[in-house]
Amino acid sequence: MPKVIRIFFWGLVISFLGSLPLGTLNIAAMQIGIQESIRNAMYFSIGSLLVEMVYVRLSLIGIDWVRRQEKLMRIMEWATFVIILALAIGSFLAASKGGGDSKNVLLNNNMNRFLLGMFMCAISPVQIPFWFGWSTVLFTKKVLEPKNSQYNIYILGIGLGTLLGNCVFIFGGKWLVKKIAHSEQYLNWVIGGIFLITALIQLIKILRHKGIEEKMHHIEDQKGHTLLQ
């Protein structure tokens, strides 16, 4: 198998599998797909994956600078918590009004869904340690080399993997709503619960100082240990 195809495949698979656990972005994409349209959900997903690709690029070429921005990362962690909590509250408020057409207050706006996806992904820096960790593994295994051509194909694979992962939620959610009678009236309750649990996990990590900057230091230490072996 040619190396570029293997790099593309690794980026796609890691990104696809990393997109499958329940999270803020894929659940929001699913909600948009169900309550608005598949097109809007795809715009949202493309906007978010483009920002993720930028974060990956930063993790590959500017990780030392990013790692030093601990205050900025801390602010972004709290911003992420506030957004997730607002999504949870908005979903519960929409559910209390009854009917599956009631929207989350943060989604009930005229903001372009592409830009909304970019914004929601931009304020969530969790992609940085995730991709720095995986990229470090690929570097140490000699799968990925510090070459722009390889970086580009790697990032393209990541973008496609994220899009496919979001499609599972977008089309799966749409299919589920059609199959289960009256499921839309419970949708906001379920999504609100997922967002609330996610917000609580985020808050616990922040308060226990297990935020993104600690992950970055831990991964950097692991990388240095690996290189010394």
**What predicted TM-score, i.e. pTM, was given to this entire model?**
0.74
Which range among 33-42, 127-136, 159-168 has the greatest average pLDDT? 159-168
Residue for token digits 């993790």? 59
Give backbone dihedrals phi and psi of 102, rounded to 5 degrees, phi first: -70, 130
Residue 213's pLDDT band (boundaries 50, 70, 90)? low
Looking at mean pLDDT, say which of 19-23, 46-50, 108-112 comes out highest. 46-50
Note the pLDDT of residue 180: 66
d(CA 115, CA 36): 16
Q: Largest alpha-carbon pair distance within the chain?
A: 60
Write down the residue that tokens 């649990």 correspond to.
Answer: 197
* Domain boundaries along the sequence of the chain: 3-84+112-181
Work out the pLDDT band at 161, boundaries 50, 70, 90. very high
Looking at residue 51, what is its pLDDT?
92
pLDDT over threshold 90, residue 48: yes
88-140 residue pLDDT tens: 887 787 777 765 555 555 666 778 999 999 988 887 766 777 787 788 788 88
Please report the DSSP string for 65-97 in residue order. Answer: HHHH-HHHHHHHHHHHHHHHHHHHHHHHHHHHT
Q: What are the pLDDT digits (tens) for 52-77?
A: 998 888 778 765 555 566 676 677 67
**Average pLDDT, whole number, for the chain?**
78
Q: What percent of the chain has pLDDT over 90?
A: 24
- Write the pLDDT tens digit of every residue in 143-156: 888 888 899 999 99
pLDDT digits (tens, 9 = 90+) for 174-185: 887 777 655 566
Grade residue 15 by pLDDT with cuts at 50, 70 and 90. very high
Position 67 scores a pLDDT of 56
Number of Cβ atoms within 10 Å of the Cβ of 99: 10
